[in-house]
Structure 1
Amino acid sequence: MSCITLSVLLLLLSCALANIKDNNLSGFCAGHPGIPGTPGRNGYPGLPGRDGRNGRDGMPGLPGQKGEAGIQGLRGPMGEQGNPGLPGPIGEKGVKGDSIINYISAFSAKRSKTHTLPQLEEAVQFNVIIYNDQRHYDPETGKFTCEIPGLYYFVVHSTVFKTSLQFDIMKNNVSMSSFFQYYDNWPKPVSLSGGALMHLDAKDQVWVQVAVGDYNGIYSSVKTDSTFTGFLVYSDWQNAQILV
């Protein structure tokens, strides 16, 4: 190659380099499109954005329907005992009312050891007074006379010796209860007891009598007694006041 040709090529190369620097290849033919490059990598997630402002409160909703009652719970433990309260004021004194002690009627008597055997269908005399404060029992006749109507109880405790005994508790000549003890030549005395609960009106009388002449062995001694006792259980007057 000649020197002139080499000089021309260098000059053209210099111009081409100058145009390449300015990204201008004028005078050359356009090349074919290049092969697409490899896709780039995904970027990293960005930071969360800031919270927005709070919205306004909404309108209150309508009341809901009343629910069903729940199951009753278990009873809780008992609490501690509280301190005693202060004493209350003293009440006014009331009118004194009638007490059952105002209706007392009672007696008890025994036969003396020297008293003769009782007679048939006559009141047995219990002539030694043990108690007779109201004097409703008469030791001379052996009869109790009711002064306070009500319910009474009478009881006889008798010692039986040397003969059999049968006695009745009488009310106005009517036998209310009857008792019997047979004597079979025992060497020592035995006992026969009996009682009756009855209602009495005013002036009713109660006593003890033997009904069979041979069965009158009411006995008494220094160590054994035969007694007749009666007392008011409940008066009609007291009952009437309670009902009122």
Structure 2
Amino acid sequence: MDQTFFTSLGMTPITLFLLFCLLSRASPNSAENVFTGFCPGQPGIPGTPGRNGHPGLAGRDGRNGRDGMPGAPGERGETGKPGLPGPKGEQGDDGMPGQAGEKGVKGDSVISYNSAFSAKRSKTHIFPLTEEPVQFDVVLHNDQHHYNPATGKFTCEIPGLYYFVVHSTVFRTSLQFDIMKNNVTVSSFFQYYANWPKPVSLSGGALIHLDPKDQVWVQVAVGEYNGIYSSTKTDSTFTGFLLYSDWKNAHLLV
């Protein structure tokens, strides 16, 4: 039976509750508490939805998960700047002495042959004569005495290749000089005088192969072109030296 039946009898909900309690005490067995003869009731009207509850407290932290798979290698970064030099390390111990190498084969005996000279003109305003050896009478170097300052000629004692060079100051007149070998012109040089207020220079050289007793000197070819000049401030020089000798065996001239 539904609630309307009891309400029609004048019973309130509290009265019904008290009546239910008395009946429960009067018959302790559950089988006796069953009411019979009542009609089944109809389903009640659904109640209104309750209000949403307040948010609960945050739960505890979960356990650490398993390590994930390694990621792909990243791109290569830029090269860093060089670091500062480290401190100097301690000096290491001396190494063991190495073994001596094998003695080399004895070479052939070599004798060095020398021949060189250099001389200059005296401080004079006298120009040289034509077609005669120019006298460079002030000796600068002549250890082997192969040059004669009195004649102005070099005489070969050691056969080989020589280099001769003339540095001349030109003043007041033109100059043409030749480097001579045994009365034959090897090379010739010319400087034209154009009324310059100060001296100028004329230089020339030649490689000459000489045999023993060959002679080399400097000669003015033309009379009016003899302006080889020297003074206290400028010089004219004649120099020659041996580059290499033709002698292959170790022997000396007597």
Q: Normalising by the residue count of structure 1, what TM-score does the alignment of the two structures yield?
A: 0.60
Residue aligning to 1:214: 224
* 1:161 aligned onto 2:158: no
Deviations 1:88-141 (A, max 9, x none): 167489588223xx3000000000112621111000000000000000000000
What is the aligned counterpart of 2:149 among 117, 139, 144?
A: 139
Q: How does 1:159-198 map to 2 (within 5 A)?
A: 159-198=169-208
Taking a change above 3 Å as real, the CA distance of residues 115 and 127 of structure 1, as seen in their structure-2 partners, is farther
Gap runs ≥5 in structure 2? 1-94
Residue aligning to 1:87: 99
Q: Following TM superposition, by how much is the alpha carbon of 1:158 offset from its aligned partner in structure 2, in angstroms? A: 0.1
Runs of 4+ in 1 over 6 A off after TM superposition: none
Residue aligning to 2:48: none
Residue aligning to 2:110: 98
Taking a change above 3 Å as real, the CA distance of residues 84 and 225 of structure 1, as seen in their structure-2 partners, is farther
**3-state SS of 2:169 partner:** strand
Q: Which amino acid aligns with 2:194?
A: D
Q: Which amino acid aligns with 1:222?
A: T
Taking a change above 3 Å as real, the CA distance of residues 84 and 181 of structure 1, as seen in their structure-2 partners, is farther
Q: Following TM superposition, by how much is the alpha carbon of 1:87 offset from its aligned partner in structure 2, in angstroms? A: 3.2
Deviations 1:173-194 (A, max 9, x none): 0000000000011000000000
Q: Which amino acid aligns with 1:157?
A: H
RMSD (Å), alpha carbons? 2.3
Taking a change above 3 Å as real, the CA distance of residues 115 and 144 of structure 1, as seen in their structure-2 partners, is farther
Q: How does 1:20-59 map to 2 (within 5 A)?
A: none
What is the aligned counterpart of 1:224 among 224, 231, 234?
A: 234
What is the aligned counterpart of 1:130 among 140, 145, 169?
A: 140
What is the aligned counterpart of 2:127 among 117, 120, 125?
A: 117
Q: Aligned partners of 1:113, 1:96: CA distance in 2, in Å?
A: 49
Q: Following TM superposition, by how much is the alpha carbon of 1:152 offset from its aligned partner in structure 2, in angstroms? A: 0.3
Q: Which amino acid aligns with 1:104?
A: N
Q: Which amino acid aligns with 2:100?
A: G
Q: Aligned partners of 2:125, 2:138: CA distance in 1, in Å?
A: 10
Taking a change above 3 Å as real, the CA distance of residues 132 and 162 of structure 1, as seen in their structure-2 partners, is same
Q: Aligned partners of 1:141, 1:115: CA distance in 2, in Å?
A: 19
Gap runs ≥5 in structure 1? 1-82
Q: Which amino acid aligns with 1:203?
A: K
Q: Aligned partners of 2:188, 2:242: CA distance in 1, in Å?
A: 21
